[in-house]
Amino acid sequence: MRSLRKFGALFHKERAEQELDDEMRFHLEKQIEQNVAAGMSAEEARYAALRQFGPVEAIKEECRQNRAAYFAETLLADLRFGVRQLRRNPGFTAVAVITLALGIGANTAMFSVIYGVLLRPLPYPQPNRLVRLTWPGGNEDLTAEQFKFYHDHSPVFESTGAYRGLSTVKLEIGKSVHWIRTLPVTRGFFPALGVNPVMGRNFTPDEERSGGPEAVVLTHELWKSAFGSAPNALGRQVQLADQSFTVVGVLPAWFKFVDPADAFVPLRFTGSSADSGSNTSAIARLKPGVTLSKAHAAMAIVFKEFAGIYGSHPGEVGVALIPYQTFLTGGYRPSLLMLFGAVGFLLVIACANVASLLLARSASRQKEISVRLALGASRLRLLRQFFMESILLAVAGGGAGIVAAFWMLNGLVSSIPWDLLATDRIELSIPVLVFALLISLASSVAFGLASFFQTSRLDLNSALKEGWSRAGGGHTRMRKAIVGAQLALSLMMLIGAALLIESLHNLYEQPTGFDSRSLYAVVTPLERSHAASVTGVWNFDQAVMQHMRAVPGVKSAAVINEMPVASQFNIPVQRAGHLEDSIGAMQFRTASPDLFATMHVPLLRGRTFTEADTAASQPVIIISESLAREWWGSQNPIGDQVILGMYQGQSFAGLTEPPRTVVGVVGDVRAMGLDVPMQPTVYIPVTQAPGNLMSQWMRTAVFLVRAVGTAGVAAALRRAVADVDSTQRVTMTQPMTEVIAGTVSRPRFNSILLGLFASLALFLSALGLYGVISYWVTQRTHEIGIRMALGAQKSDILRMVIGQGIKLTLIGVTIGIVGAFGLTRFLSSLLYGVKPTDPLTFMAASLALLLVALFACFIPARRATNVDPMVALRWE
Amino acid sequence: MERSVDLLQGTLDLLILKTLDPEPMHGWGIAQRIQQVSKDVLQVQQGSLYPALYRLERQGWISSEWGASENNRRAKYYRLTKSGRKQLERETTHWQRFSTAVADILQAASS
């Protein structure tokens, strides 16, 4: 009831005012009456009554304050006043809102990503029970043997599933053809992730058996796009990579896996070379109530049993269980957090700019404020008004920021160089909007506080007497402190960006071992018709290379099984007769005779392959320089022998290979990733490739072509493949330089974004510095005039003003360097070839900041030199 | 004027409530009544009276309505509410205990 009355009073404010007036007037009239009765004249009586009554307006104000609706009423008034103030200064308002929108927008966009991929639980039921099983001694994946043993013997898992890599295959439904990505998975895969087919069923044990019936489970999307959501899709016979499969299930629409598969096929353990290597990725769902540490303890025992039966390899220390989300996000977590920190800095700098602007404005309003204080306005009320203005600014900035975030987010998500589980989970969701609101309010408090200190320190008398020009000393100090802090933060960001850019540069500078300029790569996943036999592959390769050589501008063409720098394939290899000379993960390549000539890889000893190296001739091998050094030292390896698929005398991967004679030594070529050291590599002729490796692994041909005169070459190379077989797909045609650039997309993403944020920060800080120095000059126009009248030269004035700015900048630089020393170590996992505290980088970044600061000060300094002494002296 | 005393903090509220107890009154009347009854010892300043009236009204102890004054002019009349009457009782008791205590101390000190 009372609140209702209060609400009503708000709308009847004018009536209330009127009543207050009437009441006061009534009182006065009564007093006059009394005075007249006491014998005064009418004039006297009125005058005396007013004196007796006291300060009418102040009393009325006190009455208003005691009225029920006072708070709400004045809030509205403040709001209106704030809007009016902001509209009266459109320039100031626009700059403040844009600055805030930038800061809030960048933070909101970045937080959307952080929330979508790091904070939000995975889109599976009870995702906290999901773990990834890894092999800490080797790489992340398990061997088939390990997986099967853990699957059968672990007491802590509700279900365990395995999967292998994606492959792109041809799906034929009757006459229609689709290229889709399939992922081989075990039956346990779906229950481990907590998903059931919405139609049909999971795979059966029979379908997992080698030689069992072929079955495929579709994603909802593929069911929709390729089968038109037809319910009778179940049971349909389709051709998958030229083999007949039965559609047995369709997954729910929400289901997504980190590898973007369109369909799932059974993963069969047949004792192949893929099974014996560590190629099997394993996930598991913990039983309810089982903690991670309990599961670890249990798995340590299971591993001991396993080692007791199968033996263990040196370096094997058991099984590691990693929470699945941690596993998925481990690769990009440091980058995202680093960038989030950077946009946080950016927001602080943006807020500081707005605070500085507000301070400058409140300084010019000081006289107005003093007058209002003298007339009886309470400081609290004034403060509330300033905060109202700040909140209005923040709300406007926040709104614009959310719009900006919407834009930025699109660009950000499409340029993220990591496989994310589901990019559609990165959106401006409710928690993100709440975050945007919170940071908007926090920023309004931040710059509202600046006004607070300003007003609470205001000395009424001196402000009224002296005018604002001299009373502004305190506010200038505060603005200087703000600008110093801005410069310090900017420098920290600049140093971080410089370190990342230097790392990127270092990566680019890494020798690849070949000449990537004017080299093109054409990737073709081989159709079954070509990949059926080694002869088939080689015939296709030769035909394509022949067509490629006919393309104008092409100097030479070659073929290899893996893309240099960007992908790798390894098998165990041993030096014949030397058990100790064994490498488990030797880089292995098949090559056409002119590969080294085409890539410009130097031949150091012996010969390259020739047309005479055929399936029927002597088995030969070419080794890389680093392998020659590692196994033969200073001796000549030519004529010595190595065995593929052999490790410490044990044969692996079902390979029974004759020893191969080393015929040549070539320079090292980077295998995978510019940041990975050169790895020992062996090459064999395509014609001599082991048949079972070929059918399982080497289903892709990478053609490398050296060509001059680049216009249209890429398209012509694509056509060359089509000329040989029009059904053969080409997945990629790219200059090799772009392929290499693609391998550093992550460090490039980091450095571009941080560089962008740092530049923005630098720009905003320079604006802040410019503002303070300009103000300083305006304040001292009088003083400058006197100096010039007394004979100071323009250069003296220039030096004086710039000196002010540089002093401030140097303080900022000092703080920034100290801060960067503390912070850059968090970057160390993102750096390559440069220390987090690299003194040269620190110096270069500081110098850059100084230069920008100098420029920012130069403009007001120039203006100062143009002061006309006569005008300046008359000023005020 | 020398005879008037400053009002103790909080006593003005009590005096207003007590003055309004018999009948509704306007602000001028309240001030006059307090002055008369106290034989000009207590003088209420307008600057304290009206804010106090607004405060008491917000607390719900008095209510106001516009009516005709003695010579038929519009005036704002204040009336004691039910909760105001209870408050008056509470404050009266409180005041009596307080003044007795002060008197006791003054007597003890002078003997």
Q: What angle do CA A133, A135, A140 make, to 5 degrees?
A: 80
Q: What is the pLDDT of residue A469?
A: 46
Percentage of residues in chain A having pLDDT higher than 70: 92
Residue A159, pLDDT above cutoff 50: yes
Same domain, A750 and A854: yes
Specify the higher pLDDT residue, A823 or A76. Answer: A823
A82 falls within a domain: no
Q: Give which of A606, A733, A595 is closest to A669, Cα–Cα.
A: A595
CA-CA distances (angstroms) from residue A657 to A572, A642, A643, A644? 12, 10, 7, 6
Same domain, A594 and A481: no
How many CB pairs below 8 A link A and B?
55
Same domain, A214 and A241: yes
A212 falls within a domain: yes
Q: Give which of A647, A640, A702 is closest to A665, Cα–Cα.
A: A640
Q: Band of the pLDDT at A467, cuts 50, 70, 90? A: very low
Domain end point (choices A300, A329, A358): A329
Same domain, A497 and A615: no
Which tens digits make up the pLDDT trace of A345-403?
Answer: 999 999 888 888 887 777 767 777 777 777 766 777 777 777 888 888 888 999 999 99
**HSE (CB half, 13 Å, CA atoms) of A466?**
12
Between CA A307 and CA A311 the distance in angstroms is 4
Per-residue burial over A95-131, b if 16 or more Cβ lie within 10 Å, else e, is: bbbbbbbbbbbbbbbbbbbbbbbbebebbbeebebbb
Q: Band of the pLDDT at A468, cuts 50, 70, 90? A: very low
Which tens digits make up the pLDDT trace of A426-446?
Answer: 888 888 888 888 888 888 887
Domain end point (choices A329, A357, A380): A329
Q: Are strands A281-286 and A130-134 parallel, antiparallel or unpaired?
A: antiparallel
Q: What is the pLDDT of residue A695?
A: 65
A151 falls within a domain: yes
Helix (H, G, I), strand (E, B) or coil at A122: coil
Q: What is the pLDDT of residue A1?
A: 42
Contact across the interface for B73 and A53, Cβ inside 8 Å: no
Residue A188, pLDDT above cutoff 90: yes
Q: Band of the pLDDT at A157, cuts 50, 70, 90? A: very high
Domain end point (choices A329, A346, A376): A329
Sorted by where each starts, the structural domains of chain B and their CATH numbers stand as 11-110 (1.10.10.10)
Q: What is the mean pLDDT of residues A58-81?
A: 77
Q: What is the pLDDT of residue A624?
A: 96
A207 falls within a domain: yes
Q: Phi and psi at residue A43, in whole multiples of 5°?
A: -60, -50
Contact across the interface for A27 and B28, Cβ inside 8 Å: yes
Instruction: Give chain B positions within 8 Å (CB) of A52.
Output: 46
Same domain, A151 and A11: no
How many structural domains does chain A have?
4
Contact yes or no for A565/A514 (Cβ under 8 A): no
Q: Which of B27, B58, B66 sits opposite A27 (nearest CB)?
A: B27
Residue A698, pLDDT above cutoff 90: no
Same domain, A223 and A302: yes
Same domain, A319 and A342: no
Same domain, A228 and A162: yes
Please give the residue range of the domain that contains residue A25.
2-68
Between CA A322 and CA B95 the distance in angstroms is 74
Q: What is the mean pLDDT of residues A515-534?
A: 86
Q: Band of the pLDDT at A281, cuts 50, 70, 90? A: very high
Specify the higher pLDDT residue, A381 or A13. Answer: A381
Same domain, A292 and A375: no
A653 falls within a domain: yes
Contact yes or no for A284/A161 (Cβ under 8 A): yes
Between CA A830 and CA A848 the distance in angstroms is 23
Question: Of the ranges A547-561, A664-678, A684-698, A845-859, which one carries the lowest mean pLDDT score?
Answer: A684-698
Segment holding A763, helix H or strand E: helix A745-779
Which tens digits make up the pLDDT trace of A162-171?
Answer: 999 888 888 9
Question: Of the ranges A138-147, A599-608, A637-646, A728-737, which one carries the lowest mean pLDDT score?
Answer: A138-147
Which tens digits make up the pLDDT trace of A34-67?
Answer: 888 888 888 888 888 888 887 888 788 788 877 7
Contact across the interface for B51 and A2, Cβ inside 8 Å: no
Contact across the interface for B47 and A59, Cβ inside 8 Å: yes
Q: Give which of A307, A325, A324 is closest to A316, Cα–Cα.
A: A307
Q: Which of A23, A29, A30 sits opposite B76 (nearest CB)?
A: A23
Residue type at A204 in one-letter notation: T
Helices A473-509 and A430-456 pack at an angle, to 10 degrees, of 140
Q: What is the pLDDT of residue A471?
A: 43
Residue A742: how many other CB atoms lie within 10 Å: 15
Instruction: Give chain A positions within 8 Å (CB) of B73.
Output: 26, 29
Same domain, A348 and A459: yes
CA-CA distances (angstroms) from residue A488 to A452, A755, A838? 24, 16, 18
Task: Give the mutation candidate from A32, A59, A70, A378 for the B interface (greatest B CB count, under 10 A).
Answer: A59
Contact yes or no for A233/A247 (Cβ under 8 A): yes
Token reading at A254 = 């929400």
Question: Of the ranges A205-219, A334-348, A465-479, B44-58, which one carries the lowest mean pLDDT score?
Answer: A465-479
Say whether pTM exceeds 0.80.
Answer: no
Same domain, A211 and A357: no
Token reading at A362 = 């409140």
Contact yes or no for A607/A623 (Cβ under 8 A): no
Q: What is the mean pLDDT of residues A289-315?
A: 83
Helices then strands, counting H and E runs in chain B, come out as 4, 3
Interface of A with B (CB under 8 A): 2, 19, 22-24, 26-27, 29-31, 52-55, 58-59, 62-68
Q: What is the pLDDT of residue B1?
A: 37
Same domain, A304 and A317: yes
Q: What is the mean pLDDT of residues A319-325?
A: 88
Between CA A338 and CA A746 the distance in angstroms is 13
A118 falls within a domain: no
Q: What is the pLDDT of residue A473?
A: 56
Q: What is the mean pLDDT of residues A545-569?
A: 93
Between CA A283 and CA A303 the distance in angstroms is 16
Residue A550, pLDDT above cutoff 70: yes
Q: What is the mean pLDDT of chain A?
A: 86
For residue A458, give every residue at least 6 positions away whose Cβ sits within 8 Å of its Cβ, in sequence order, or none. Answer: A366, A369, A370, A373, A471
Residue A701, pLDDT above cutoff 80: yes
Between CA A755 and CA A661 the distance in angstroms is 52
Q: Which of B46, B51, B55 sits opposite A27 (nearest CB)?
A: B46
